Amino acid sequence: MTIVDTGFLIDLMKGDSGAEQIALDNKQLKTTAISSAEFLTGAKRNDKKTVYEISEKFIRFFPVLPFDAESAVVYARIAHTLSGTASHISTSNELIAAIAIRNNEPLVTRDQHFSAIEGLDIIAY
């Protein structure tokens, strides 16, 4: 199984060919509670009710991994390691990475910032 980040969800919904190929090659894609929240928040910001409704249905196709106590331990290590460095990334991306590492799953992303996180297996598209 493979975990996808927020950008991938957006790209897949928009019909990005790279994201579509990943989806075809990996039938058991999962996402995180963090990516789900970011994805739905973006859809909610769109004033069209149908965009949010479609987005909510779309996200339900993905099993969602929670941020749990073990993820918190991994997150603390990531945040501490990157704190004050040029490699610091957003808290939400650190949380997503922590969930992927905790579950020993690769992360599908276009976001190069994730490469700063030691121990995170990345599948770029």
Mean pLDDT of 90-113: 97
Both tokens assigned to 50: 């149908």
Q: Does pLDDT of 44 surpass 80?
A: yes
Virtual torsion, Cα 19, 2, 108, 36, nearest 10 deg: 80
CATH of the domain at 29: 3.40.50.1010
Mean pLDDT of 95-116: 97
pLDDT reported for residue 49: 80
> For residue 113, what is the DSSP state?
G
Helix, strand, coil: what percent of the chain each, to 5?
60, 10, 30
Mean pLDDT of 73-97: 92
pTM for the whole thing? 0.93
Structural domain total, the chain: 1
pLDDT reported for residue 85: 81
pLDDT reported for residue 84: 81
Q: Does pLDDT of 1 surpass 80?
A: no
Whole-angstrom distance, CA of residue 125 vs CA of residue 88: 22
Degrees to nearest 5, angle at CA 48 with 42 and 51: 55
Q: Does pLDDT of 14 surpass 80?
A: yes
* Containing structural domain, residue 89: 2-124
